[in-house]
């Protein structure tokens, strides 16, 4: 099965930037969509951004459009999320996800099967 190993994250002041990455290993050829989710304390997990491997088209939640950029290096099977102009509301645990069947065209959520361990992003005001 697909294994996802995340890196990056950390703490930054509002207005700053951070980058999180996710290396996918094993059976990655079966992966159709990859995405980033986040979960803040006391809140439900929400989709942040997704990318459809066949076209490379990205999709974003309205809350991060214009500030976050998702990208995928297919050769290295590394998914990244560049986060700019960060806000305190972006504080959360960020998770990488992948799936072979989910439909991510035009959407950022969905029933992803494979998940990373999560990496913390903290934005102070």
Give the number of other CB atoms < 10 A from CB of residue 16. Answer: 14
The per-residue pLDDT of the chain, averaged, comes to 94
- Residue 61 CA to residue 28 CA, distance in Å, equals 25
Distance CA 80, CA 24 (A): 11
The CA distance from 73 to 87, in Å, is: 27
The mean pLDDT value for 109-115 works out to 93
pLDDT band at 88 (very low <50, low <70, confident <90, very high): very high
Given a contact cutoff of 8 angstroms between Cβ atoms, the answer to whether 79 and 92 are in contact is no
């Amino acid at each position: 099965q697909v294994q996802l190993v995340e890196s990056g994250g950390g703490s930054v002041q509002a207005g700053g930037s951070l980058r999180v990455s996710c290396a996918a290993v094993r059976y990655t050829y079966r992966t159709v969509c990859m995405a980033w989710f986040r979960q803040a304390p006391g809140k439900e997990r929400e989709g942040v951004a997704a990318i459809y491997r066949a076209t490379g088209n990205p999709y974003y939640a309205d809350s991060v459009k214009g500030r976050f950029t998702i990208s995928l290096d297919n050769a290295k099977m590394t998914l990244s999320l560049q986060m700019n102009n960060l806000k305190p509301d972006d504080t959360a645990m960020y998770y990488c996800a992948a799936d072979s069947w989910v439909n991510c065209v035009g959407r950022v959520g969905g029933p992803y099967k494979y998940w990373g361990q999560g990496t913390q992003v903290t934005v102070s005001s």
